[in-house]
Structure 1
Amino acid sequence: MDHAELTALLTPEGLRLVDELGVIVSPADVTGAVSRLRASGLSPDLVSAAVGQARLRGRARAKFGPFAERMLFTRAGLEQATRLSVAARHAGRFRDTGVTRVADLGCGIGGDALGFAGIGLDVLAVDADEITAAIAAYNLAPFGDAATVTCARAEDVDLSGVDAVWLDPARRTAGHTETTRVGAADWSPSLDWVFDLAGRVPAGVKLGPAFDRTLIPDDVEAQWISVDGSTIELVLWSGTLARDGIRRAALVIRGDAAHELTAGDDTDDAAVRELGEYVHEPDGAVIRARLIGEVARSLEAGMLDPKIAYLTSDAAVTSPFVQSFRVRERLPSDVKALARALKDRGIGTLEIKKRGVDVDPAALRTKLKLRGPESATLILTRVGSTRLTLLADRI
C-alpha cells in the first residue's frame, strides 16, 4: 500500500466500498472485482486499495476472528501481527501486575495494542512508519482516548506516565508487502536499546522463537509460545512482569485450551532408553525452552537419542506438551521394502513425521504409492547412526 491508496481508502467512500466487498478469497474473484469496479468509473487507487483490503480481511480471520471484518491491514503488517488471542494473554499479564498504562513501541497494525485496550488498559501505540501508524489508528479508533497512536521512532517517545512497555523491534526490512529478515545488528530499535530499556522499565519483548539463546539476559523470564502446533514467538519479560523464580516457560495453546510448563532454568534431558510401546514428540515451545526433561519425567519416559527430541515410554499416558503415538511395529527403512510392508497392511492414509533424518516426506509419499483403507503414522528417526522406521497410531 502506498500513500495514494491509503488516502483513497481512508474516505467514507473507500471504507464503505471495503465493507460492501466483504471477503474476497480466490484470484478469480479478485480479477472479477477489479474489472467490475474499474468499469464503474472508480479510481485505480481506490479499486486497488479496496480489493486488497477485502483479500487481507479474509486472511486475517485466522488471527483476528470476526474483528478482522472491521480492521484494515497491510500485507506485511498482517503477517507480523500477534494473534488476538495471544495478545489478550499478554495484556492479561500487564493488567495482573497492576499496570494501567502501557506503551506499545513498534505497534504495527495494532494487534497487541488491541489486546491491551480490549481489557481496559490505556495504550500509547507507536510506529515509525506513517502508513502503518495510520492503519493502527483506524483499528484502535473504537477505544477513543484510551488508545493513542503516534508516528515516531521508539527511541524518541516520552515514556513519562507509562507503567510498562511492550517492545516488538522491527526484524525485517521496511515495507508493506514483501520483506526479508535482517540480523539483530540491523533491528529497529536496536537490541541493545531494547534490553537497556527493559532493564529500567517493566517490559515484554516480542522476538522470533529461534532467537539466539546466548543473547537472552540472565534476569528475564523467557517464554516460548506455540499455537496449534506452531511455535510462533518468544517473549522476554522483565521487571515486575517476570514471575518470581521462573526463567524458562513454554506456553502451549491448542484451540481454546492453554497449558504452561515453567522452570527456574533449562532442565536436564532425560536419560536415553530403549524403544518402548509409546513415542512422544515434545511441542516446539517445550523444545525451544529446553524443558524436554521436565516433560519426560512426568511421562516416565526417556530419550530415544540424546540429540533428537523424541521420547519413549511404556506407560499409556500422555501430556498437553507432547503428541503421543502407540508403536505398532518397526518396519524396514529401505523405500521399496517399506512400500511393500505398507501395501501388505492396507495403509492408504499415512501421516509422516521425521526428526534427525534427511527425508522429504512429500517425495517419500510419492514413492510409497499408498493404497488401501487403513491409516497410520510413520515415524522416521535414528538412534545413533541407525535409522529407525516406526509404524504407529496417534493417541
Structure 2
Amino acid sequence: MTRYLCAPDSFKESLTAMEAARAMAQGIKNADPAAEVRCLPMADGGEGTARALVDATHGVMLEATVHDPLGRSITGHYGMLGDGVTAVVETAEASGLALLSSDERNPLIASSYGTGELIRAAAHAGARRIIVGLGGSATNDAGAGLLQALGVRLLDEHGRELARGGAALASLERIDVSGLDEAVRYVHVIAACDVTNPLTGHDGASAVFGPQKGATPADVERLDQALTHFAHVIADQLHVEVADVPGAGAAGGIGAALKGFLDAEFRPGIDIVIETSGLDEAAQWADVVFTGEGSIDFQTKFGKTPAGVAKTAKAHRKPVIAVAGHIGKGIDELHEVGIDAVFGIAPGAASLDSLLKDAARNVTFTTEQIVRTLRLR
C-alpha cells in the first residue's frame, strides 16, 4: 500500500490549498483505491496562509469588523489555529491593495489601521502567539495605523493625534505608548517576511514598493522623508533602531512597527508554515509527496511553497512531484531544489476562465495520470 502526501499551495483565483490537496487526493484514489492519502494544505506566508494553517491544524477562521486602507468599515478575517493560542493575520486582509480600485490607490493617506484591529481582535480572542503575514499591502505608513489601532498615540507638536497615512508622519513630534493594548503587550509576534528591505533609502519601502501602490516620484520622496523622520523619533524616544532592520520595509514598513513596538521575530514565511503545519512528520510518513501551486517557474525555488515542501521531503529522501496551473521558464532549475518532476494541468488550448473554473477537475485528472504511470513500475 502506497502512502501519498498532498501538500500544495493555493491555485490563485481558483482553489484554496485544501481544495487543491483534495483534488490531488481524488486523482490518487481514482488510480490507486488502496492508497493511503494525507492532505496538508500549505502556503508561503503570503495570501492564503491563514486559511492553509487553519485547515492544516483543524483550527477556525474568525471575523472582526475592521477598517480598510481608506477607513471604510469592512469584515476582516484571521485564523485561530488548532492549538487555540496561535493566530494568523495577513496584512492584505484589511490593508491590502486588492481592496482598492486603481484610482483609489494613494499611499500618502492609506493606513494599516485595519491590520492593527485584526491583531487586537486575535489577542482578545486568546492568542498568545500571532503570525503576521507581510505582503500585498496598499499602505506606506510604516505600520503607524496598525500602532494607532493598538492604542499607541502618535502626536504632532500641538499634542494632536496624527491623521492616518504615511505622509502625516512628517509631523510626528511625540510617541505615547502608555495606551498600548494590554492583551497585545504579552503576545509573541512572528513576522512572516520574505524580503530584507530596510525601512528607508533606495532599497526601502517607499522607493521599492511605493510606485506599485500608486506613488509618484514626488510621493516616493515625500514618503521616504516621512518614514525617515518616524524612524528618528522612534530611535530618540524609544531607543529602538528600526530604519535598517532587514525586513523593516516589508508591507509598506509594517515590519518596522512590528519590530520596534512589539519586538517581532522575523522568519521566512515558508519556514513558519512548514514548522506549524507538521510537514516534516508528514513527509517522513509518505512514500510519494505531491505539491504545487497556480504558477511554477524558476522563481519557485526562491522561498515558494513547492521548493519548501521539496526541501523537507528530500531530507527524508522522498520523491516530489509538482502540479501547476501554469508552467513558466526555467523549471529545470527546480530539480536542483528537490522537485523531481513538474506537470501542468492545462488541457490543451483553453480560455483562462475555463482553466480557473475547471481547476479542481484538471488537478484531479493530472494527478490520476501521474499515479497510473507510477503504478506501471
TM-score where L is the length of structure 1: 0.31
The structure whose RCO (Cα within 8 Å, separation 6+) is larger is 2
TM-score where L is the length of structure 2: 0.32
Larger Rg: 1
